[in-house]
Amino acid sequence: MNRRFLRQALPFLTLAVVLAATFYVQPRTMSYFGLNLMLQYAVPIALATIAQMFIITVNDLDLSIGPFVGLVSCIGATLLLDNPLLGILALLVLIAAYGAVGALIHIRNLPSIVVTLGLSFVWLGIAVLILPSPGGKAPVWLKALMGVQTPWVPFPIIAAIVIGVVVHLALMLSSYGVIARGAGGNPKALTRAGWSMLRTKVVMYMLAGFFGVLSGLALLGLTTSGDAHVADRYTLYSIAGVILGGGEFIGGRVSPLGAVVGALTLALAGSFLIFLKISPDWQIGAQGAILIIVLALRALVSYGEQKR
């Protein structure tokens, strides 16, 4: 029982360790302004991580979420600004396209890694056509939303908690959430019970598209301009965030709260590595090392559970 609790608490312990190390290296970050500065990009990363989590829930993997977020950023900085109705329509089409991809993967029994890898080039190509070079401008309301100053606790922390709690209630405690996780845990039993795996996958992929759109808009509100390559690393961040948060690639085993905590950990780790004066070229490798350490600790805890 203690080991099981330790496994569930591991994402939160990892966040606490990274936060404590950051405070030790740079004591000035131990303030409202310091936390707000370090976590300013935590919201779009958390939203992209939740999007990836929906895909992983049904035992698939999305290698296109980064370019997708970049495409949303370009649409938001151009179409959504100049013609809001056309921009909203374009974003809805993207969400529907995600659902269509989920249907294609299920019906043709295609490997999601291959399909979404190819899809990443499609998203990037469309983004470059819309905005060949960084530019455009974020809508005023979007900049105002992402620039909200909340009392006592920085907005990114509040937003991340709200995202995690809402998705946790929907996925872990609702009846449809049980069905969705069952699609990853035991799809044959789900089919025998009369539920449609096709419909479930389409819904989960569309939810991933929806949160990917939110991530792109949140990122645009922070950067204030569009860029097709602005979120290239978000694919790796989203996968790492889900795994850091206790999720697994098979079995429908995910944790929305853990995924958000994993996203916060990655955001903090980036700042921590900057304070250590580590070159940006090495930062992604250092973040990967953090992921490997956490996975090793989780495997150690799981091994202890199995021996008992």
Confidence of residue 268 (pLDDT cuts 50, 70, 90): confident
Task: Report the alpha-carbon distance of residue 58 to residue 102 in Å, rounded.
Answer: 10
The arithmetic mean of pLDDT across residues 103-111, rounded, is 93
Closest CA to 52 of 170, 180, 253, 209: 209
The arithmetic mean of pLDDT across residues 90-112, rounded, is 95
Would you say residue 293 has pLDDT above 90? no
The model's pLDDT over 58-85, given as tens digits with 9 standing for 90+, comes to 999 999 999 999 999 999 999 999 899 9
Determine, yes or no, domain membership for 50. Answer: yes
Would you say residue 305 has pLDDT above 60? no
The model's pLDDT over 37-46, given as tens digits with 9 standing for 90+, comes to 889 899 999 9
Closest CA to 78 of 5, 39, 132: 132
Q: Specify the pLDDT at position 5.
A: 66
The arithmetic mean of pLDDT across residues 208-228, rounded, is 95
Among 80-84, 96-100, 189-193, which is the least confidently predicted range? 189-193
Would you say residue 210 has pLDDT above 90? yes
Whether the CA torsion 123, 127, 132, 133 is positive or negative: it is negative
What's the domain range around 252? Answer: 9-20+36-301
Q: What is the pTM of this model?
A: 0.92
Determine, yes or no, domain membership for 2. Answer: no
The number of distinct structural domains making up the chain is 1
Determine, yes or no, domain membership for 206. Answer: yes
The model's pLDDT over 240-253, given as tens digits with 9 standing for 90+, comes to 899 888 888 777 78
